Amino acid sequence: MDIKLCNNLKSVRAECGLTQKQVADKLGVVESCYANWEQGRTSPNVDMLRKLGEIFNISLDDLINGDL
């Protein structure tokens, strides 16, 4: 998984004041699933990326490619 996306997920989640559990609940996944994305063990699919963009109120381009 792209390290930039991992770092951006961590950064934007912290900026939003959310825990991994809170984000996972909003996505309808278990906390370990979301934690794996932040740690680069697995990658979110396109649908999950869209939902993450909505939750964090950020464009997918910024989430994937931005320097957050």
Q: Residue 58 above 90 pLDDT? A: yes
Q: For the chain, give every domain's residue range.
A: 3-62
| Selection from 5, 50, 26 nearest residue 58 by Cα | 50
pLDDT given at position 1: 67
Instruction: Give the C-alpha separation, 62 to 22, whole Å.
Output: 21
Q: What is the CATH number of domain 3-62?
A: 1.10.260.40
Instruction: Give the C-alpha separation, 38 to 11, whole Å.
Output: 10
Q: What is the pLDDT of residues 34-56, one digit of tens each?
A: 999 999 999 999 999 999 999 99
Residue 49 CB-half CA count within 13 A: 15
Q: What is the pLDDT of residues 15-32, one digit of tens each?
A: 999 999 999 999 999 999
Q: Which two tokens stand for residue 7?
A: 């770092």
Reported pTM: 0.91
